[in-house]
Amino acid sequence: MTWRIVRKDCAQLWPLLTIVTVAQLANAAMWLALGPFREPRGLVTVASLFSGATMLGMAALVVAVVQQDVLPGVSQDWLVRPIRRSDLLRAKLTFMVLLVQGPALLADLAHGLAAGFAFRDVLIAGLSRSTLMVLVFDLPVFAIAAMTSTLVQVAASMLAMWVVVVAGVFVGILARAGAPPVFAGSGLQWMTPAFWSVLASVAAAVIIPLQYFRRATRRSRQLAVGAVLVAPMLSSSTWDSAFSVQRRLSANSATALPIAIEFDRSLGKDVAEPPSVSVNRVSLPLRVSGLPPESLVVNDRAEARIVDHEGTTLFRGRTTTTLGYGDDFVVRTAEGGDVRLHQRIALPGDVYARVRGRSVRLEIDYALTLFRLDAPMAIAAINGDQRSSALGRCQTKLDADGDEIELGCVSSGAAPTCVSITLEHPTTGQRNPPTGACDPDYSPYPAHFYPDALSQFGFAVPFRDRQRLAQYPVGGSQLGESTLIVKSYRPVAHFTRRLAVADIRLDE
Partner 1 sequence: MVVHADRLTKRFGRVDALRGLSFDVPESSTFALVGANGAGKTTTIKVLMNILEPTAGTATVLDTNTRALSLRELARIGYVSEHQDMPPRMTVSAYIDYLRPFYPTWDRALETDILSHFRLPPDRRIRDLSHGMRMKMGLVCALSFRPALLVLDEPLSGLDPLIRDEVLDRLRRQAGDMTILISSHELAEIETVTTHVAFLDSGRLLFQEALSDLAARVRFVRVSLQAAPSAPVHPPAEWLDVRVDEYMLSFIDTRFSERDLRAKVAAVVGTVAHIDVEPVDLRTIYTSLARAVRDGKASA
Residue number, 64 or 373, with CB nearest to partner 1: 64
CB of 228 to partner 1, least distance (A): 25
Closer of 9 and 138 to partner 1 (Cβ): 9
What is the DSSP-derived secondary structure letter of residue 274? -
Nearer to partner 1, 38 or 215 (CB): 215
Q: How far is the CB of 69 from partner 1 (least distance, A)?
A: 8
- Closest distance to partner 1 from the beta carbon of 75 (Å): 5
Which residue lies nearer to partner 1 by CB, 76 or 430? 76
Tell me how far, at minimum, the Cβ of 83 lies from partner 1, in Å.
6
Q: How far is the CB of 139 from partner 1 (least distance, A)?
A: 24
Rounded to whole angstroms, the Cα distance separating 224 from 246 reads 28
Binding range to partner 1, per CB under 8 A, among 62-70, 97-105, 291-299, 386-394: 62-70
Q: CB of residue 207 vs partner 1: minimum separation in angstroms?
A: 19
Cβ proximity of 306 and 365 under 8 Å: no
Hey, which residues does 360 pair with through a beta bridge? Answer: 504
Q: At what angle do helices 2-34 and 41-66 cross, to 10 degrees?
A: 170
Question: Alpha helix locations (H) across 134-150?
Answer: 139-146
Contact map string, positions 67 to 106, toward partner 1, x by CB under 8 A: -xxx--xxxxx-xxxxxx----------------------
CA-based torsion, 112, 115, 119, 124: positive or negative: negative
Nearer residue to partner 1 within complex by CB, 5 or 447: 5
Residue 91 or 104 with smaller CB distance to partner 1: 91
Q: CA-based angle 270:271:277, to the nearest 5?
A: 80
Closest CA to 144 of 89, 196, 84, 71: 71
Q: Indicate the residue among 3 and 445 with the shorter CB distance to partner 1.
A: 3
Binding status of residue 230 toward partner 1 by CB under 8 A? no
Say which DSSP state 179 is in. Answer: P
Cα–Cα dist 471/92, whole Å: 64
* CB of 151 vs partner 1, minimal distance in Å: 13
Q: Which of 384, 416, 386, 431 is nearest to 487 (CA)?
A: 416
21-40 residues near partner 1, rule: CB under 8 A: none
Instruction: Label residue 207 exposed, middle or buried (CB < 10 Å: 0-12, 13-18, 19+).
Output: buried
Q: Does 4 bind partner 1 (CB under 8 A)?
A: yes
The strand pair at 359-373 and 483-505 is best described as antiparallel
Measured from the CB atom, is 77 or 503 closer to partner 1? 77
The residues, any chain, with a CB within 8 Å of residue 299's CB and separated by 6 or more, are 325, 328, 329, 330, 343, 366, 367, 368
Dmax over Cα atoms in the chain, in whole Å?
85
8 binds partner 1 (CB under 8 A): yes
CB atoms within 10 A of CB 278: 12
Closest distance to partner 1 from the beta carbon of 18 (Å) = 15
Choose the stretch contacting partner 1; rule: CB under 8 A; options: 5-13, 49-57, 254-262, 355-363: 5-13
Task: Tell the smallest beta-carbon distance from residue 87 to partner 1 (Å).
Answer: 9
152 near partner 1, judged by CB under 8 A: no
Cβ nearer to partner 1, comparing 64 with 123: 64
CA distance 428 to 475: 12
Site residues (vs partner 1, CB under 8 A)? 1, 4, 8, 11-12, 68-70, 73-77, 79-84
